Amino acid sequence: MDRARGTYSVQSVLKAFDLLEALAAEGAHVTVPLLAQKLDLSRNKVFRLLATLEDSGFIERDGDGVYRLGLHAFEMAQHILKSASLIRLAHPVMEALARKHDEAVYITVMNNDEVLFLDMVDSFQQIKAMDMVGQRFPFFTNAAGKAIKAMSSPDIIRHMGRRRVGKAGAPDLKQLEKELHEIRKNGVAIDFGGVGDGICAVAVAIRDYAGKVVGALTMLAPSFRMLHERLEQEIVPSMREGAEVISMKFGYARMPAS
């Protein structure tokens, strides 16, 4: 029974994707009869799928019963395109940094209040951190999340105070505020153990043409190789430069100091 229900659910999701694809292909003047014919479904089935997608904001219907893609579908497409563009523009810089320092370099992005490790160029070291691609962490636990939030959300502590009062696992907001202030001042976030024991992370925010933070260039390495002198003289300058190069590819131009 559970297997049958699961198969039905998967089929419904696939039909919903087919419907969205048909809406995108047909453009304007898409009606229930047209979709039913195109997808070889009953009109009742099409209507139920449309109602579900309309409730979720993926499609819209005008007064004449004509359907089109909704705002949420376009927003999702923008997120996908932005992530793809970020990987494409950042990867050559990541390659250069990984080869120069022989440490793993990532692109990380924010998804709600979690940081997602999106893409990686690995090192050739025998001892290294595990592959983090696809992993998510609460932003306040690691350098990547703190770098993104520090440079993009000046009021994050006030908002967190309202949302996280009394919640288990909530950070020390005073300590977090102090850390974010230092990151804004220095332009780089460094942590030890944030994404795992014995791992050091270094992260610098990446901006687009409008100055909006779109992610962070992040390096992960075993803590024993990330000594203070190496961090200050080699890693941090390279990471700052790399993040600036990627930001410039997005059209960002830093304002001259007044």
> Per-residue confidence of the chain (258 residues) as pLDDT tens digits?
454 444 445 567 778 878 888 887 766 667 888 888 888 888 888 888 888 888 888 888 877 777 887 777 766 666 665 677 888 889 999 999 999 999 999 999 987 788 989 889 999 999 988 888 888 899 989 999 999 999 987 666 566 555 544 454 567 788 888 889 999 999 999 999 999 999 999 999 999 988 999 999 999 999 999 999 999 999 999 999 999 999 999 899 876 554
Contact 131, 117 (CB under 8 A): no
Q: Which CATH number fits domain 84-250: 3.90.650.10, 2.30.38.10, 3.40.605.10, 3.30.450.40?
A: 3.30.450.40
| Domain 11-76 of CATH type 1.10.10.10 | yes
Cα–Cα distance, 245 to 202 (Å, whole number): 17
Nearest residue to 58 (alpha-carbon basis) of 44, 43, 74: 74
Q: Within 13 A of 235's CA, how many CA atoms are on the CB side?
A: 26
Give CATH 3.30.450.40 domain extents, the chain.
84-250
Give CATH 1.10.10.10 domain extents, the chain.
11-76
